Chains A and B, each alone.
Chain A
Amino acid sequence: MESRLCHLFLKGTFKTLLGLSIIFVSNIHAAVPLEKKAEQIILPELERREIKQAEIDTEDFEIGFFAGAMSIEDFGVNGSAGLRFAYHVTEDIFTEITIGGSKAGETSFEVLGGGVNLLTDDERLLSYYNISVGYNLFAGESFFAKRAFNSDLYLIAGIGNTQFAEEDHFTINVGVGYRFIPKDWFAIHVDFRDHIFNSDILGADKQTHNLEINAGITFFF
């Protein structure tokens, strides 16, 4: 008895489900032509899309590396290298963080003295960081192989620290540089910088000018 009731109940459920599904399916069939019709009536000419600011790629940051030569006052000219990171605030003004280093050679006193060493090997390492503000003085074009490329001649000045002979020296830097921009995302730099700091390594405290010239590449992002 119980199983018969169960059977009837199941049969009922099955029929209901079947009925519902038929209604549902027929409804879909009924809806399709309507939708098609609607599409034909108000077929949008242009696709709507959300405009977000992020869709435009900004290229205000610049990161790269350089290598060159640095003249450390009294210690000769030696190779130097470093990294630069810049942010372009306006078309004219940018800020730049530079870290770099070089290794001092021998003073003429050491060369002539023979065997005299003023500094140990570790003390000869020079490293610096500086934060500067640059101004694109001559934004322009440079012509190369029948093509015009954008370029900037900029003035730059800033403050930082130079560690030399295991001492910290407050350093002012001033310079001029040339930025050649072959691609929107890529630039070649030639940069001339004077690192000015007071030093007492050779006895008396004096202001030293340490000139650096380097070339490098940077990437905009």
Chain B
Amino acid sequence: MRIIIFCLIAFRALSGGLAEAKESFLEVIVADPYLEMHSGPAIGYPVLHVVERGKKIKILLRKTDWFKIRTEKNKEGWVYLNELKQTLTLDGQPIKLRDVTIEGFRKRSWDVGLMGGDFEGAASMTVFGTYYIAPTLSAEISATQAIGNFSSSILGNVRLAAHPFPEWRISPFFALGAGYIKTSPDATLVATVDRDDPIAHVSFGANMYVTKRFIFRVEYNNYKVFTSRNDNEEVEEWKAGFAIFF
């Protein structure tokens, strides 16, 4: 019985806490002459309400660079980041809102992305994740699938890259890496077995800051496949894609 009562109390406390948390929105004061409240989170949506300077508003949530707000009169609408930057906290301090610019690109700590390209005649797709140890040095892990007419390969690679000019909008890089390649011939065509080989590569390319969290990336890779046969294979790969940084 006690346990049940305890559970009930705990549940009440928890649900009460949740309800409270739901209502504890950030409250700010409008500092601009007025704020335009759109009906949706994009520039094309019509402005349905306006809040004047000095009024209190609650920030309910954020979608990309748009904030859903609620006025004291319980009107809701979406305000763009740049307009909201002028608002003040209840203490009269300017509000701090996260805005992603090229500065963020220069100081990014990691990014994830996708590239597509040509792997010695086969179509290749790569997903990668990069961690920036310093603005000029990064460590990366990637997985590539190359789909050819007669076989398909899966590659896993790790690499270290140097970014000599991290402050440039188009920032070049050079990389050295190693990994593994697994090649499986198409079952219907060629009757050979799967091959697993170690692989190493040198690479150069560039990252270009596009907008917000978006990076465009182009790169060239030269792979050396250490086969169990007498000759090592050399494979060239070109690819381009995008990344999102955080």
Q: Is A167 a contact of B188 with CB atoms below 8 Å?
A: yes
* B205-245 to A contact mask, C-beta < 8 Å, 1/0: 00000011110000000000000000000000000001010
Q: Is A58 a contact of B62 with CB atoms below 8 Å?
A: yes
Q: Whole-angstrom distance between the alpha carbons of A107 and B15 in the complex?
A: 57
Chain A nearest CB, measured from B82 CB (Å): 13
CB interface residues, A 163-221, toward B, < 8 Å: 165-170, 184, 200-201, 205, 220
B177 within 8 A of A: no
Q: Is B62 a contact of A159 with CB atoms below 8 Å?
A: no
B109 within 8 A of A: no
Tell me whether A184 and B68 are in contact in the complex, defined as CB-CB below 8 angstroms, given that A89-B212, A139-B42, A167-B186 are known contacts: yes
Contact pick for B39, options A47, A90, A148, CB 8 Å: A148
Q: Is A133 a contact of B152 with CB atoms below 8 Å?
A: no
A57 within 8 A of B: yes
Q: Whole-angstrom distance between the alpha carbons of A60 and B214 in the complex?
A: 14
Q: Is A55 a contact of B63 with CB atoms below 8 Å?
A: no
A100 within 8 A of B: no
A12 within 8 A of B: no
B45 within 8 A of A: yes
Q: Is A88 a contact of B96 with CB atoms below 8 Å?
A: no
The size of the chain A interface, using a CB distance under 8 A, is 42
Q: Is B145 a contact of A58 with CB atoms below 8 Å?
A: no
* B114 contacts across to A, CB distance below 8 A: 95, 131, 159
Tell me how many residue pairs across A and B have CB atoms closer than 8 Å. 111
Tell me whether A91 and B64 are in contact in the complex, defined as CB-CB below 8 angstroms, given that A51-B89, A161-B145, A170-B147 are known contacts: yes
Q: Is A57 a contact of B62 with CB atoms below 8 Å?
A: yes
A34 within 8 A of B: no
A87 within 8 A of B: yes
The size of the chain B interface, using a CB distance under 8 A, is 46
Closest to B94 in A: A51
A141 within 8 A of B: yes
Q: Whole-angstrom distance between the alpha carbons of A184 and B41 in the complex?
A: 10
* B119-158 to A contact mask, C-beta < 8 Å, 1/0: 0001101010000000000000000010101001000000
Contact pick for A161, options B25, B125, B212, B242, CB 8 Å: B125
Q: Is B39 a contact of A141 with CB atoms below 8 Å?
A: yes
Closest to A52 in B: B96
Contact pick for A131, options B60, B89, B127, B211, CB 8 Å: B127
Q: Whole-angstrom distance between the alpha carbons of A139 and B152 in the complex?
A: 40
A76 within 8 A of B: no
B7 within 8 A of A: no
Chain B nearest CB, measured from A177 CB (Å): 16
Tell me whether A168 and B59 are in contact in the complex, defined as CB-CB below 8 angstroms, given that A136-B42, A139-B40, A141-B40 are known contacts: no
B66 within 8 A of A: yes
Tell me whether A139 and B44 are in contact in the complex, defined as CB-CB below 8 angstroms, given that A57-B62, A59-B62 are known contacts: yes
* A37-81 to B contact mask, C-beta < 8 Å, 1/0: 000000000111101010111111000000000000000000000
B187 within 8 A of A: yes
Tell me whether A89 and B145 are in contact in the complex, defined as CB-CB below 8 angstroms, given that A53-B96, A139-B42, A160-B125 are known contacts: no
Q: Whole-angstrom distance between the alpha carbons of A167 and B90 in the complex?
A: 62
* B170 contacts across to A, CB distance below 8 A: none
- 13 contacts across the A-B interface (CB closer than 8 A): A53-B98, A55-B26, A56-B61, A57-B62, A89-B214, A90-B212, A90-B214, A91-B43, A95-B114, A150-B41, A167-B186, A168-B152, A184-B68
Can you add 8 more A-B contacts, CB < 8 Å, to A55-B26, A56-B67, A57-B60? A49-B89, A51-B96, A55-B25, A60-B62, A90-B65, A91-B63, A136-B42, A150-B45
